[in-house]
Chains A and B, each alone.
Chain A
């Protein structure tokens, strides 16, 4: 009596296990992406989409990816995120800070779906946040700029005055003035992440005011094109822009989300996903660089490599004291570094930057 019942139960249990396992093996993991711009921007959104394609090529049939482009950050965002969550997606990436609250709202209602929010600061049990320490890249190119500028004026094309961009400007300026205390940074805000015409105009204005190196935190290759045409040099942003400026591009800060996206998808597949707040940089490959441009001298290359190594092994911090703000007051003492909280909310310029920020 007992043994046969026991056998029956074991068989049933074993069968259901097998079915479950095969069901899990059969059902692909669905990964959704919410983009704030078009994939064709060759910048921010484009690089996220490259990351999405990396997931597809890594996992093949095991995953199915979906993306929704140009989702405005207002009321539409919540609906799109919710639609993804309720249509069987297991992992959803929302790739703009303006999606922070909508993501959390939806995450509350879908506790079994995992969310990854880029550049935000609020987490929940099923919402992780991630961002890249782009400012580390700025330190590298700032060093290069400081060594290569002859006019001692560097032009910076900013998008919208938010802490992330200001952080980049400051990291750049600090590194630049370490090797060249006489250089200054002029900033123009185009008040848009993406407007090739305005970016080109800003680049021209900066060059006309004496900048011989330009850099940007906007998304299109237009400023580098202007640099190429005017015979000055500059740095690409988000992607490798050498195709547009073969002589002008010295190097570029490339957003590399591939490894992170693959890793997080793997975590969902094998069940080890947990909420976290990560801010990864050069050491983890999230901030990457293409080949140096042909016009970069060897000593500049060497100096840039030293900065990269220093950041990777922790001996160099982009915001190491003593640091002074625009008004000349000391904000970081000698030997101290700014912690992540202070970096996250940075809203002042350091010394060496010309311009004004809204209070």
Chain B
């Protein structure tokens, strides 16, 4: 029984990791005042590019890097359109999703049916410790990276000057501009970070979660990531909670089915979504919190008048 619990927790960690990366990147992007709905497109492009790189070069490191860069490339396109050319952020983000899905399918046409053995466990000796060894030490580098990135982002946003600048740009771009901060440049960087993270999430999907490439393999995780940013009230710590809540319930409902619960599977599959809403309602009763944390300038175009 203990063994089952530990194995289930490991599965939950795997399921939550891509959500953590994708929504963390979007969180930073939104904190700077930019709403990028193209996460799904960036994830898929990151997934296909990292898989292709691993396949042709044999190096997992290059693969992860390629995934990051691919996500950043799409994010750069988005940033140029929305920040320099001032196009509508919502529409451009959605267009990016359509574009990214198509582009990834095009790139990946010759990669279908190719196998890859996945990323190695980072600390195999420690993982052999009985009971908790596998749970604590048996993961690949991207899993540990996700936790490190959350911590680093949280620290960056709340404890560094640069993070303060980013937040002020998101809360009031006019005031930030008046204070001499380069709003557009900050937003470019935040958007690129978001793209890199989405690309990383995609790389995790095609290199670790299910090491293969098939079209549309993210299956909507980009949209879940967007929702999780809202759930997290734009705070990295709560984002981790949200990703694990959603990932956890998703896995647990599968277990419930296998245990023979007399509930139709479609209704069981609704649980992660309903639970996320319910939990958010419960923790949102302090309405003031949301108002304080939502970046006020999100989605609004910025154009300096001086």
Whether A and B touch (Cβ < 8 Å) is answered with: yes
Binding site for B on A (CB under 8 A): 38, 40-42, 46, 155, 158, 161, 186-192, 194-202, 204-209, 220-222, 225, 229, 243-244, 354-358
Binding site for A on B (CB under 8 A): 4, 7-8, 11, 14-15, 18, 105, 108-109, 112-115, 118, 205, 209-212, 214-219, 221, 250-251, 254-255, 257-266, 269
> A275 vs B186: C-alpha distance in the bound complex, in angstroms?
66
> Do the beta carbons of A196 and B217 come within 8 Å of each other?
yes
Among A41, A186, A191, A356, contact of B214 (Cβ-Cβ < 8 Å):
A41
> Do the beta carbons of A229 and B260 come within 8 Å of each other?
no
> Do the beta carbons of B254 and A358 come within 8 Å of each other?
no
Closest to A242 in B: B115
Closest 5 CB pairs of A and B: A189-B265, A354-B260, A358-B264, A196-B210, A208-B7
Measured CB to CB, the closest approach of chain A to B232, in angstroms, equals 21
> Do the beta carbons of A191 and B266 come within 8 Å of each other?
yes
> Do the beta carbons of B214 and A220 come within 8 Å of each other?
yes
In the complex with contacts A40-B112, A244-B115, A206-B258 CB distance below 8 A: yes
Among B214, B264, B269, contact of A196 (Cβ-Cβ < 8 Å):
B214
Closest to B251 in A: A201
Measured CB to CB, the closest approach of chain B to A210, in angstroms, equals 8
Chain A at the B interface: mostly helix, strand, loop or mixed? mixed
Among B118, B218, B255, B264, contact of A205 (Cβ-Cβ < 8 Å):
B255
12 pairs across A/B with beta carbons < 8 Å? A38-B216, A190-B254, A196-B214, A196-B217, A201-B250, A204-B14, A205-B255, A206-B258, A208-B255, A220-B214, A222-B212, A355-B265
> Do the beta carbons of A243 and B115 come within 8 Å of each other?
yes
Closest to A209 in B: B258
Residues of B within 8 A of A197 (CB): 15, 18, 205, 209-210, 217-219, 221
Residues of A within 8 A of B11 (CB): 201, 204-205, 208
In the complex with contacts A197-B15, A209-B255, A354-B258, A222-B113 CB distance below 8 A: no
Residues of A within 8 A of B262 (CB): 356
> Do the beta carbons of A191 and B269 come within 8 Å of each other?
yes
> Do the beta carbons of A355 and B257 come within 8 Å of each other?
yes
In the complex with contacts A195-B219, A197-B205, A201-B11, A42-B113 CB distance below 8 A: yes
> Do the beta carbons of A186 and B105 come within 8 Å of each other?
no
Measured CB to CB, the closest approach of chain A to B209, in angstroms, equals 6
> A190 vs B264: C-alpha distance in the bound complex, in angstroms?
12
Residues of B within 8 A of A221 (CB): 115, 212
In the complex with contacts A197-B221, A205-B251, A225-B269 CB distance below 8 A: no
> Do the beta carbons of A201 and B15 come within 8 Å of each other?
yes
> Do the beta carbons of B112 and A209 come within 8 Å of each other?
no
> Do the beta carbons of A225 and B211 come within 8 Å of each other?
yes
Closest to A359 in B: B264
Closest to B216 in A: A38
In the complex with contacts A40-B105, A220-B210, A187-B215 CB distance below 8 A: no
Closest to B270 in A: A191
Given A158-B265, A190-B269, A201-B15, 4 other A-B contacts at CB below 8 A? A204-B14, A243-B113, A355-B257, A356-B260
> Do the beta carbons of B212 and A244 come within 8 Å of each other?
yes
Residues of A within 8 A of B259 (CB): 186, 209, 354
> Do the beta carbons of B118 and A229 come within 8 Å of each other?
yes
Residues of B within 8 A of A200 (CB): 209-210
> A205 vs B4: C-alpha distance in the bound complex, in angstroms?
9
> Do the beta carbons of B105 and A188 come within 8 Å of each other?
no
> A41 vs B212: C-alpha distance in the bound complex, in angstroms?
11
Closest to B11 in A: A204
Measured CB to CB, the closest approach of chain A to B190, in angstroms, equals 28
In the complex with contacts A200-B209, A244-B115, A358-B266, A205-B215 CB distance below 8 A: no
> A243 vs B209: C-alpha distance in the bound complex, in angstroms?
17
Residues of B within 8 A of A199 (CB): 210
Residues of A within 8 A of B18 (CB): 197
> Do the beta carbons of A188 and B212 come within 8 Å of each other?
no
> Do the beta carbons of B219 and A198 come within 8 Å of each other?
yes
> A40 vs B221: C-alpha distance in the bound complex, in angstroms?
20
Measured CB to CB, the closest approach of chain A to B56, in angstroms, equals 17
Residues of B within 8 A of A356 (CB): 260-265
Residues of B within 8 A of A40 (CB): 105, 108-109, 112, 214-215
In the complex with contacts A188-B254, A356-B264, A205-B212 CB distance below 8 A: no
Measured CB to CB, the closest approach of chain A to B148, in angstroms, equals 23
Residues of B within 8 A of A38 (CB): 105, 215-216
> Do the beta carbons of A208 and B269 come within 8 Å of each other?
no
Measured CB to CB, the closest approach of chain B to A39, in angstroms, equals 8
> Do the beta carbons of B112 and A186 come within 8 Å of each other?
no
Among B115, B217, B260, contact of A186 (Cβ-Cβ < 8 Å):
B260
> A205 vs B7: C-alpha distance in the bound complex, in angstroms?
9
Closest to A205 in B: B254
> A67 vs B241: C-alpha distance in the bound complex, in angstroms?
45
> A357 vs B261: C-alpha distance in the bound complex, in angstroms?
10
Closest to B255 in A: A205
Residues of A within 8 A of B258 (CB): 155, 186-188, 205-206, 209, 354-355
Closest to A200 in B: B210
> A358 vs B267: C-alpha distance in the bound complex, in angstroms?
10
> Do the beta carbons of A192 and B260 come within 8 Å of each other?
no
Residues of A within 8 A of B205 (CB): 197
Measured CB to CB, the closest approach of chain B to A238, in angstroms, equals 12
Closest to A229 in B: B118
